Chain A
Amino acid sequence: MEVGLLMLGGGIVAGVFGSLLGLGGGILIVPLLTIGFGLPVREAVGISLICVIMTSGASAAVFLERDVANLRLGMLLELFTAIGAVVGGAVAFLIDQRYLAGMLAILMVYVAVTMLRSATRPAAAPAEAVADTAEPLDAAGAASSPASGVPSSATPAAPPGRVPFIDRLSRPGYRVRRLKLGAVGSVGAGILSALLGIGGGVVKVPLMHLLMGVPLRVSTATSNLMIGITASTSAIVYLLRGGIAPYAAGPTAVGVFIGATIGSRSAHRVDLRVLRLLFVVVLLYTAYEMSRQALGQA
């Protein structure tokens, strides 16, 4: 009973943190389950994928309703993230779990450094470079001003069939570019997601925003939409290969969902700058612990 409640509580904390910081909780679940409860890394990755799908499903629905996510672009890129996820899911069962722990430690240090940089910036946008699933749900506005980079849904789109395909992926206010590079990067994001149990937004958001010319908020929302397919494709591989423990997955996933809901409703009451700095400390500590696992010292 105690272990179950602790898992539920740990999931809630991960969900709150993830939601407030736009991380989805994926990066926290694997350390929570491996360091906190002694689960093998691969099993923890499988459970983390389940949590990521659930949190992204709930927030992607909101982003779609509010017309923030670019469904067409998301559909195209998730074809490539899904290919990466199948490859990554298969590779994850071939490599030593210590390598997975080491890779996760490196990713945590990267996210911590990125977060530290954005926390020390005066008016940094939330989840700017490290968004893993979504901004807090209530932070996503529908038809915002042009300054925010999100096109108004009231602007009519060109009718399909008369314009080039890439223009049909674009929206008023921005034009999608470098599709091929985006496709290659998406395969990489899918592999990373399958190996480490994260949503892969850490790759997809910068890819769309910096490389493909998609506004940040649209990138974050679209990445969030894609995460469901990316994570579920690799979760299928984990599920069928016995890589998901249902008894541990239940309380953890329910906890993450509750935590993400709490986080999305309390985002406006929290000083995100302080939270980010606290999170950096947590990330660096867990990166240290994961490194010890990678080196066989834990």
Chain B
Amino acid sequence: MSWVGRSLEGRIARVLTIGTLVAVGLLLVGSVLLLGSGRSPLDSAPALDLGRMWADLATFHPAGALWLGLIVVIATPAARVAAALAGYAVQGEREMAVISGLVLAVIAAGVVAGTLGS
């Protein structure tokens, strides 16, 4: 079924499925690179740094794929809420659109809470 022809639930399900599969793929690649490089999962990894992450990805350093995979895992539920927000707005369900927006605002508060404490 095409994206347009799907129900809101169907579109959200698609977002979740794609996000989860991409995340699993990245974590799998990162894990294979990790084990293949002889590192132990108990070794300390480079801290999260978006600039370095892309460089690590380009050089097949395991930290690159693993950090990106973790970011995709964490971002997938938020993407699902964003898809719901768009869907409710299009359907004219103002209350549900506002609730979806508030959920995204609380997630943003989590980013602030994490950044302030780091």
Please list the residues of chain A having a beta carbon within 8 angstroms of any beta carbon in chain B: 1, 3-5, 7-8, 37-39, 50, 53-54, 57-58, 60-62, 64-65, 67, 69, 71-72, 75-76, 78-79, 82-83, 85-86, 89-90, 93, 160-161, 165, 168, 228-229, 231-242, 244-254, 257
Contact A160 B93 (CB under 8 A): yes
Contact B76 A232 (CB under 8 A): yes
Shortest 10 CB-CB contacts between residues of A and residues of B: A240-B114, A228-B77, A246-B66, A250-B31, A57-B20, A61-B13, A64-B13, A61-B16, A82-B106, A237-B114
Residues of B with C-beta under 8 A to A237: 110, 113-114, 117
Looking across the interface, which residue of chain B has its beta carbon closest to that of A50?
B73
Residues of B with C-beta under 8 A to A251: 31, 34-35, 41
Residues of A with C-beta under 8 A to B31: 4, 8, 250-251, 254
Looking across the interface, which residue of chain A has its beta carbon closest to that of B66?
A246
Q: Given A57-B20, A75-B99, A64–B10 Cβ distance below 8 Å?
A: yes
Q: Given A71-B8, A85-B110, A89-B110, A4–B40 Cβ distance below 8 Å?
A: yes
Determine whether B28 belongs to the interface, using a CB cutoff of 8 Å to chain A.
Answer: yes
Contact B20 A61 (CB under 8 A): yes
Contact B96 A72 (CB under 8 A): yes
Q: How far is the CB of B81 from chain A (nearest CB, A)?
A: 7
Q: How far is the CB of A227 from chain B (nearest CB, A)?
A: 9
Q: How far is the CA of A53 from the CA of B23 in the complex (A)?
A: 11
The winner among B27, B43, B77 for most chain A CB atoms within 10 A is B77
Contact with A246, one of B63, B95, B114 (Cβ below 8 angstroms): B63
Looking across the interface, which residue of chain B has its beta carbon closest to that of A238?
B114
Please list the residues of chain B having a beta carbon within 8 angstroms of any beta carbon in chain A: 8-10, 12-14, 16-17, 19-20, 23-24, 27-28, 30-31, 34-35, 38-45, 47-48, 62-63, 66-67, 69-71, 73-78, 80-81, 84, 91-93, 95-96, 99-100, 102-103, 106-107, 109-111, 113-115, 117-118
Q: Given A58-B17, A249-B66, A86–B96 Cβ distance below 8 Å?
A: no
Contact A65 B13 (CB under 8 A): yes
The winner among B76, B96, B100, B114 for most chain A CB atoms within 10 A is B114
Q: How far is the CA of A1 from the CA of B37 in the complex (A)?
A: 9
Residues of B with C-beta under 8 A to A160: 91-93
Contact B27 A78 (CB under 8 A): no
Contact with B42, one of A64, A168, A234, A248 (Cβ below 8 angstroms): A248
Contact B107 A229 (CB under 8 A): yes
Contact B114 A241 (CB under 8 A): yes
Q: How far is the CB of A24 from chain B (nearest CB, A)?
A: 14
Residues of B with C-beta under 8 A to A75: 81, 84, 96, 99-100, 103
Given contacts A58-B17, A60-B13, A75-B100, 6 further A-B contacts (CB under 8 A): A5-B35, A53-B74, A168-B95, A233-B110, A237-B110, A244-B70
Looking across the interface, which residue of chain A has its beta carbon closest to that of B97?
A75
Q: Given A57-B20, A65-B9, A93–B117 Cβ distance below 8 Å?
A: yes
Q: How far is the CB of B22 from chain A (nearest CB, A)?
A: 11
Contact A76 B117 (CB under 8 A): no
Contact B16 A60 (CB under 8 A): yes
Q: Given A65-B9, A250-B27, A240–B17 Cβ distance below 8 Å?
A: no
Contact B34 A4 (CB under 8 A): yes
